[in-house]
Amino acid sequence: GSGKIDNGGQQEIPSAEAEINVGDLILVAILPKGKDHGCDTTVVQLEIHERDGERRTWRVPEDVVNDFAGSANSGAWYFVAFQGAPPVTLSPPKLSTDEKEALERKKEELATLRKELSRPVPVAHGLQEGGVPESAHAGIHDVQVHIRGRYDRLGKQVPRRFPRVLAGENQPPITEGSGRLQLAQWIASPSNPLTARVMVNRLWQHHFGEGLVRTPNNFGKLGERPAHPELLDYLAHRFIQSGWSIKAMHRSIVLSAVYQQSSVPNPETLRADPENRLFDRMNRRRLEAEPLRDSLLTVAGELGCTLGGPAIRELDNHRRTLYLMTVRSDRSNYRMLFDAADPVGIVEKRTDSTVAPQALFLLNHPFVLAQAKTLVQRLNREGPSDDRGKIEWLYQLLYGRPPGEDEIKIGRAAIASASSGSDSTPEAWHQYCQVLLCANEFVYVD
C-alpha cells in the first residue's frame, strides 16, 4: 500500500496480503515531501501477520521502538545497510543447541576484542615553527599590515614585538622564531604580575561569587579598583612562588578565615557595606549547573568518576557534567536553565537568575526523580532501619548537619502522610527525598 501524510497529520494505509517466500524482503519507505528535509519523525504502526504456518505476528512499536536502546529485538528484525550488493537472505538461520552455544562464545570473544580496541592510544604532538614551503610565506619574517584585513592591500612592515602599551618602547627585538615562545615566556614570567593577579582574582570569584576586582576582564583604568589591593598582590605572589599551582591556591582560599565566615550579615556592617564589597561575610551562592547535577548524582551514589572519554548527550548519564556535550545553537538545555556559561562568547562572570523553570525542573524532571529514587535505595542499603535514624542520615548526607527536633517531626509527619498504612512505604520516602533535594539548603552554598 501507499499514501501521503500531511505535516502534523496521520494517514491509515489499507492492509494488504502478499505472498512472501524465504529470503524475500519487506521494505517500508517513508519519504519526505520536500527536497530540503534532512530527517523524518513519522511514527509507524506496522503489524505483519502470518496467515499460514506458525501464524506469527511482528509489530514495529513493541519489537523495535520500545527496545531501540537495547537490541531492538534483533532475533525478529534485521537492520541492513544497503551500501553494496543486497543481502542474499534475511531469514534467521536454524541453529542447533551446540551451534547456539558456540555462537554465544564467539560473541563474547568479539565483545572482549572490541573493548581492547577502545583503549586510548598514546598521542604526542610534534610541533615546529616555520612557514609554508614554496609559498610567499616560506619562512618566519616580519610582515606587512593588511589594510582593512584585505590580503591585496598591504601597508608598512611591522616588526615582531609585544604591544607597546604593555611592554613599552625600549624592548629587545625578536630576531629568531615567530615570537610565540617569547610571548608565552613574557605572559608567564615571574616579573609580570598581571597574569597572576588576573588568575587569582578568577579563583577568588569562583569561591565567593565576586572577585577582589569586580571587573575580571578589565584591570585597566576603566575597570574597578580592587577591594583589597594588598591581598590581591599577596595572593598573586604566592601563586607564582607555588609554581603557578591552581590546586595550592584553591587550598589557601578554602582554608582561610574569610572563606569560613557565615553568610548571615551583621546589622552594623550590612548598613556600612550592603553589597559586601569588603567581604565581611560570605556571599550566599546557588550551585552552578555542573556542581548541581554532580551533587545529585553524588548523594545518590551514582556519580561516575572515570577520567577522559567522549562527550555524552544524555542528561541521565552517570558521568560528570564536565563531559556533557555542548551544542552552541541549543539554548533550551539543562545548563542554560541554570545559567551555565554561554558557549558562543567569552563569559567573564556567569549570570545568577532565579526563575520558576528551575524549581519546576527539580520537581518534575525524570533525571531528578530518578536520583531521588536511587537515594532511597542507598538509604535502605546504608542507613538505619528506624524512621528517625533515616531522617538523621539523610540530613547528614545532604546538608552536612544533624536535623533539629522540629525538622524530624516535620519529616515523620510528611512520611506518615504519604504512606498508605501504618508503616512507611518506599514511595513516601521517595517523595521525602525529593523534597530534601529541592530545598534551598541543598541547592545553595551558605
Q: Determine the residue type at 62.
A: E
pLDDT at 400: 93
Q: Please give the radius of gyration of the chain, using alpha carbons only, rounded to the nearest integer.
A: 32
Region of 12 (left: φ > 0; alpha: ψ -120 to 50; beta: rest) is beta
Contact 28, 80 (CB under 8 A): no
Residue 86 burial (10 A CB sphere; 0-12, 13-18, 19+): exposed
Decide if pLDDT at 369 tops 60.
Answer: yes
Contact 415, 432 (CB under 8 A): yes
Decide if pLDDT at 9 tops 50.
Answer: yes
Contact 351, 335 (CB under 8 A): no
Select the more confidently predicted residue: 361 or 67: 361
pLDDT at 346: 87
The 3-state DSSP class for residue 43 equals coil
Q: Cell 589594510, residue?
A: 147
- Segment holding 223, helix H or strand E: none
Q: How crowded is the C-beta side of 187, counted as CA atoms within 13 Å?
A: 8
Q: Convert the pLDDT of each residue in 69-105 to its tens digit.
A: 555 555 556 555 545 554 444 445 567 888 888 989 9
- What's the mean pLDDT in 8-33? 71
Q: Cell 509507524, residue?
A: 44
Contact 441, 287 (CB under 8 A): no
- What's the mean pLDDT in 411-423? 82
Pure H helices in 288-404: 289-299, 334-337, 356-364, 366-382, 387-399
> What is the pLDDT of the chain when averaged over all its residues?
84
Task: Report the range of poorest mean pLDDT among 2-16, 32-46, 70-84, 209-223.
Answer: 70-84
Select the more confidently predicted residue: 160 or 10: 160
pLDDT at 341: 87
Beta bridge partners of 48: 58
CA pair distance 137, 12, nearest whole angstrom: 66
Give the closest residue to 338 by CA, choosing from 290, 300, 284, 371: 290
Pure H helices in 46-192: 60-63, 97-117, 164-167, 180-187
Select the more confidently predicted residue: 389 or 418: 389
Give the closest residue to 437 by CA, choosing from 337, 365, 351, 382: 365
pLDDT at 191: 87
Which grid cell is 215?
A: 571587573
Backbone angles phi, psi at 344, to 5 degrees: -80, -35
CA pair distance 89, 60, nearest whole angstrom: 20
Residue 370 burial (10 A CB sphere; 0-12, 13-18, 19+): middle
Q: Cell 519507505, residue?
A: 29
CA pair distance 212, 225, nearest whole angstrom: 8
Which pTM does this prediction carry? 0.65
Which grid cell is 30?
A: 517513508
Decide if pLDDT at 310 tops 50.
Answer: yes
Residue 14 burial (10 A CB sphere; 0-12, 13-18, 19+): exposed
Q: Domain map of the chain by residue range?
A: 1-90, 187-283, 364-445
